[in-house]
Amino acid sequence: MKSSFQQRSPPQPQDDSETDEECITERTHYPAFMIPDLFTQLPLVRDALVTSTSQTQDETVDTCLPYLAGEDELFMYNLHGVPNLDRERHIKFLHSSLGRLPGRFLAADASRPWFLYWALSALAIMGEDVSSYREALVDTARGMQNETGGFGGGGKQTSHIATTYAIVLALALVGGEDAFEVIDRKSLWSWLCELKQPDGGFQVFLGGEEDIRGAYCTAVIIRLLNLPLDLTPTSPAWTSDGTVDLFSGVGDYVRRCQTFEGGISGQPNAEAHGAYAFCALGALALLGDPRRTIPRYLDVPRLISWLSSRQYAPEAGFSGRTNKLVDGCYSHWVGGCFPLIEACLSSPGAPDQAAGHPANAVRLPPVPESLFSREGLIRYILCCCQDQSKRGGLRDKPGKMSDAYHSCYVLSGLSSAQHQWQLAPSGTEDDSTAATVDLVWTVLPYLDDVQVFDQKNLVRPIHPVYAIPLHSQQAIRSYFLAKEGF
């Protein structure tokens, strides 16, 4: 026990005798960036015991530090030691990822709708007009739709809830009646009924696994397309008394996925994982007013504690699980939880928190500034997640290849860090009415004491629940709200 008590003193200046000369001359050229030492030094408290987890963690910090300290040669830094968002390169990268993909992308053959969503979403967040893809997307999506409802990962593949979600979001992003009308809502609705399970959750495809992605993706689809909640008699969850609908038991299912750590697992009894935290909060927020539904089903203080623990220094980005490494995509999966939670805690006129989880008995106060370090996340994204070679695109961390998936979620995370959302007061008690579903969300750029990024690096806000731009979400939902029948 005594041996492990090792408090680390702040790092000493470089011992020149051990540095080669080339390195010294280079170092003297660095301008004095305004970078808090939080992002350039190892954490104050570290353990001596070495295990494989601590080794990979140390390696990751070593990899990230030069990027965070303004020492990467490919970058042009501002006074805060933060480079610009290289829009031009990323946009080019994303356009090309929508083109024909070489054979080495074979593993993506069952998840092409994801590629469409990731690329279109990333482009939209950077302010690109993606409506020019409408026609091609309409053709592509048609080929992936099954007569029995839903979309598969490609032509003539089994319908999957995740690929259906991705297609619906992609269609929402390109917008327009032609795109919306691709979706056969009636067969989609009856297919969703088949996926609904008696325990409240959803299978991800017929005969497939049941997990929390199923709940979130279904809720998004139902709300965006304004599908009825009634169950068909062939649904495994159908009861003769008619009390069960598509949303019944979803809250309880989500509740069973919260773990002792406070985070959310993919299925009950597994480990808390960042991606599922976003799905859980999103699903609850779509059941009704999140200011009521979230505390009803989740231990909020423990959840916030777990979410906050995902941000490490000096890397400053988020990890997906306890003792796992920082990764750019959790900028969205974890970082994207905060706008929603902060809005729930801080929006004026929040309804009384109904009796829910006992841990929420104490009134939870509004957030003084922000629950996470927005500056930290922005630094990690702009310094570590940009591929600054000719390739462009965004990535997990330095040393990893950029891809469409990380481009989408890193940029979503950047958007979350740059904006602050508020919810208008809602009076109604009934969660399922349209009034609670169509809560009025407003957004403003987040104003920090010191803004470390240049104004031109501000990206578009994305909806804290649907993860697409607000106007895209509103356009598709109001289109289907106005439509009678299927």
- Footprint of another protein on residues 311-340 (CB under 8 A)? 311-313, 316, 321-324
Kindly identify the residues of this chain, within the stretch 208-227, that bind another protein according to CB under 8 A.
208-209
Residues serving a catalytic function are 273, 321, 324, 327, 329-330, 396, 403, 406
Q: Measure the CA–CA gap between 8 and 19, rounded to whole angstroms.
A: 22
DSSP 3-state of 287: helix
Chosen residue from 62, 109, 129, 178 binding another protein by CB under 8 A: 109
- Identify what 1 binds: another protein, Zn ion, none; CB under 5 to 8 Å per kind: another protein
- CA 291-294-296 angle, to 5 degrees, is 100
Chosen residue from 89, 213, 302, 406 binding another protein by CB under 8 A: 302
Chosen residue from 369, 401, 424, 478 binding another protein by CB under 8 A: 369
Is 229 an interacting residue with respect to another protein (CB under 8 A)?
A: no
Which 8-state DSSP code applies to residue 64? H
- Identify what 5 binds: another protein, Zn ion, none; CB under 5 to 8 Å per kind: another protein
Binding mask 146-185 for another protein (x = CB under 8 A): ------xxxxxxx-x-------------------------
> DSSP string of 308-374?
HHTB-TTT-SBBSSTT--B-TTHHHHTTTHHHHHHHHHHSTTPPP--S--GGG-SPPPPPSS-SS-H
Is 327 an interacting residue with respect to Zn ion (CB under 5 A)?
A: yes
The packing angle between helices 274-287 and 290-297, to 10°, is 120
Is 407 an interacting residue with respect to another protein (CB under 8 A)?
A: no
Residue nearest to Zn ion (CB): 329
Q: Which is nearer to another protein, 197 or 388 (CB)?
A: 197
Is 387 an interacting residue with respect to Zn ion (CB under 5 A)?
A: no
Token look-up 């990979």 returns 56
**Nearest approach, Cβ of 410 to Zn ion (angstroms)?**
9
- Identify what 396 binds: another protein, Zn ion, none; CB under 5 to 8 Å per kind: Zn ion
Q: Which is nearer to another protein, 78 or 322 (CB)?
A: 322
Binding mask 390-429 for Zn ion (x = CB under 5 A): ------x---------------------------------
**Nearest approach, Cβ of 132 to Zn ion (angstroms)?**
29
Chosen residue from 40, 121, 347, 373 binding another protein by CB under 8 A: 373
Residues near another protein (CB under 8 A), total: 100
**Nearest approach, Cβ of 155 to another protein (angstroms)?**
6
Q: Which is nearer to another protein, 193 or 316 (CB)?
A: 316
Q: Measure the CA–CA gap between 292 and 430, rounded to whole angstroms.
A: 10
How many residues are there in the chain? 486
Is 372 an interacting residue with respect to another protein (CB under 8 A)?
A: yes
The residues that bridge with 442 in the sheet, in sequence order, are 422
Chosen residue from 61, 174, 286, 329 binding Zn ion by CB under 5 A: 329
- Identify what 329 binds: another protein, Zn ion, none; CB under 5 to 8 Å per kind: Zn ion
- CA 220-223-225 angle, to 5 degrees, is 100
- Identify what 103 binds: another protein, Zn ion, none; CB under 5 to 8 Å per kind: another protein
Stretch that binds another protein, among 205-213, 410-418, 467-475, 478-486 (CB under 8 A): 205-213
219-250 burial, b at 16+ Cβ within 10 Å, e below that, comes to bbbbbbbbbeeebeeebebbeeeeebbbbbbb
- CA 144-145-148 angle, to 5 degrees, is 140
Q: Measure the CA–CA gap between 39 and 31, rounded to whole angstroms.
A: 16
Q: Measure the CA–CA gap between 396 and 385, rounded to whole angstroms.
A: 6
Is 384 an interacting residue with respect to Zn ion (CB under 5 A)?
A: no
Q: Measure the CA–CA gap between 258 and 268, rounded to whole angstroms.
A: 7
Q: What would the two tokens of residue 18 be? A: 């051990």
Stretch that binds Zn ion, among 188-196, 206-214, 321-329, 438-446 (CB under 5 A): 321-329
Q: Kindly report whether the peptide bond that precedes residue 314 is cis, defined as omega within 30 degrees of 0.
A: yes
Q: Are strands 441-445 and 419-423 parallel, antiparallel or unpaired?
A: antiparallel
Residues near Zn ion (CB under 5 A), total: 3
Kindly identify the residues of this chain, within the stretch 39-98, that bind another protein according to CB under 8 A.
44-49, 51-54, 97-98
**Nearest approach, Cβ of 450 to another protein (angstroms)?**
14
Token look-up 């629940």 returns 465
Stretch that binds another protein, among 241-249, 353-361, 462-470, 477-485 (CB under 8 A): 353-361
Which value, in Å, is the radius of gyration of the alpha carbons in the chain?
A: 23
**Maximum Cα interatomic distance, the chain, rounded to a whole number of Å:** 81
Q: Measure the CA–CA gap between 392 and 358, rounded to whole angstroms.
A: 48
Q: What would the two tokens of residue 380 be? A: 């990690």
Kindly identify the residues of this chain, within the stretch 439-468, that bind another protein according to CB under 8 A.
none
- Identify what 327 binds: Zn ion, another protein, none; CB under 5 to 8 Å per kind: Zn ion
279-313 burial, b at 16+ Cβ within 10 Å, e below that, comes to bbbbbbbbbbbbbbbbbbbbbbebbbebbebbbbb
Whole-angstrom CA distances from 415 to 103, 273, 409 are 33, 21, 10
Is 102 an interacting residue with respect to another protein (CB under 8 A)?
A: yes
Stretch that binds Zn ion, among 49-57, 168-176, 376-384, 388-396 (CB under 5 A): 388-396
Summarize as ranges the residues that interact with Zn ion (CB under 5 A): 327, 329, 396
